[in-house]
Amino acid sequence: MAEIVVPELAESITEGTIAKWLKQPGEQVNKGEFIVELETDKVNVEVISEEAGVVSELLVAEGDTVEVGQVIARVGEGGAASAPAAAPAPKAEEAPVAQAEPVAEESSSMDRAIASPAARKLAREKGIDLNAISPVDPMGRIRVQDVEAHAAAPKVPAAPAAPAKAAAPAPAQDDGRVTREKMTRRRQTIAKRLLEVKQSTAMLTTFNEIDMTNVMELRKRKKDDFFEKNDVRLGFMSFFTKAVVAALKKYPYVNSEIDGDEIILKNYYDIGIAVSTDGGLVVPNVVDADRKNFAEIEAAIGELAVKARDNKLTIADMTGGSFTITNGGVFGSLMSTPILNGTQVGILGMHTIQRRPIAVGDNIEIRPMMYVALSYDHRVIDGKDSVGFLKMVKELIENPEDLLLGS
């Protein structure tokens, strides 16, 4: 009898949700064949069977939360199961909850959390369990400011249990006027992280507008040749990615993060590109965007978008971002204030292109205009750098030949 165990996924991921069983009791499974799809905070992972045989038992149901190392199914020998166990029904209030495998040593609970040495030391001094802290970092790494925020948070006393006779009445029968839908693990994580960013940063947004005339004309002239040579379409995202990298090099504090009382300046340019999926917004990274040409950037963005919508993103795709670009314009947004992504201190928001009357010299002309927004952490970035950064992005997009010559 072989056991199917939740595998180690990444240092910051300790649990997941059973998204879908790909095999049912009584079905044959081959060694290395996928048996279950697991949804984590960041990516979906398909778990394989290490042995060939017949699925004899599923220990948890779809929608259940499971921990790394937990046994979730068993595979028996033979070509058929004598009496296969049915998949467990959706959990009821009185149904037993599947238990995780016991931890070998209680003292290891602090080690399971991923934290910087300074954060780990501060947590020990304050007597705080690292596993009780909700980090801002999207990859789950706990930093000094997370420990300090947890220590400063008001402690809510537990409410006394109400006597049995004062128990609340059972909820009224659903009359069809509302529908309750459990949030997915990813949606819960998105909600928690966005709230934490708003509460733990001094976020501010500055705006500008870009005349898209020149970049649209250049794209129109070059798009056919570009596709013929590179087998990928020339879009606006490569221009904005190139412009952002150039601006980050001139304003390096926009490409940094805070760790306690230190600023970490990043000497790499992994640009996160926000992608909307049915499960929520994800931000995979174009790694080393400064070393890629236009075609390589467009190909990377296209590949990441497909992987995101097919739930095929890996932990590596989501790790290491230094700055993020989000394009609400694809949905028709005219203006918005994007929220910072994890520990990053800057995010650029693109918006829909709208033809508007603009003063050009002494004349009024109708031009295709785009509002852009830079949200930034004011603890690191002052107004001079934020305005200068956004102004440089504007100038480069309005003079796209400079980007082509510099790439």
Give mean pLDDT, residues 395-403: 91
> Residue for token digits 């400064």?
290
Q: Where are the domains of the chain?
A: 2-76, 104-150, 202-406
How does pLDDT run across 216-255, given as a tens digit for each residue? 999 999 999 999 999 999 999 999 999 999 999 999 999 9
Return the axis-axis angle of helices 236-250 and 383-398, rounded to nearest 10°.
140
* Average pLDDT value for the chain: 83
**What's residue 176's pLDDT?**
81
For the domain made up of 104-150, give the CATH fold. Dihydrolipoamide Transferase (4.10.320)
Looking at residue 119, what is its pLDDT? 77
Helices 236-250, 213-230: inter-axial angle, 10-degree rounding: 110
At 132-166, the pLDDT tens digits run 887 776 566 787 778 888 887 766 555 555 555 55
What is the reported pLDDT for 187?
Answer: 80
Catalytic residue among 270, 377, 382, 402: 382
Helices and strands (DSSP H and E) totals, the chain = 10, 19
Asked if residues 9 and 40 have their Cβ atoms less than 8 Å apart, the reply is yes
303: left (phi over 0), alpha (psi -120 to 50) or beta: alpha
Distances (CA, A) of 307 to 47, 106, 186, 230: 18, 38, 16, 20
Higher pLDDT residue, 214 or 46?
Answer: 214
**79 or 357, which is more confident?**
357
What pLDDT is stored for residue 228 in this prediction?
95
pTM: 0.66
Residue of 261, 378, 385, 402 marked catalytic:
378
- Fold matches, 104-150 and 202-406: no
CATH topology of domain 2-76: OB fold (Dihydrolipoamide Acetyltransferase, E2P) (2.40.50)
Is residue 378 part of the annotated active site? The answer reads yes
Maximum mean pLDDT: which of 108-117, 273-282, 329-338: 329-338
List, in sequence order, every beta strand (DSSP E) within 310-389.
Answer: 323-327, 346-350, 353-360, 363-377
65: left (phi over 0), alpha (psi -120 to 50) or beta: beta
> What is the per-residue pLDDT across 32-85, written as a single tens digit (0 to 9) for each?
888 998 887 667 788 888 888 899 889 998 888 888 888 999 998 765 444 344
Task: Indicate the class that CATH gives domain 202-406.
Answer: alpha beta
Lowest pLDDT segment from 18-32, 38-52, 166-180: 166-180
Token output for 31:
């060694």
Q: What are phi and psi of 346, to 5 degrees?
A: -150, 145
Terminal-residue alpha carbon distance, the chain: 58
pLDDT at residue 295, as a whole number: 95
b/e per residue, 284-305, with b = 16+ CB within 10 A? bbbbebbebebbbbbbbbeebb
Q: What is the mean pLDDT of residues 286-303?
A: 96
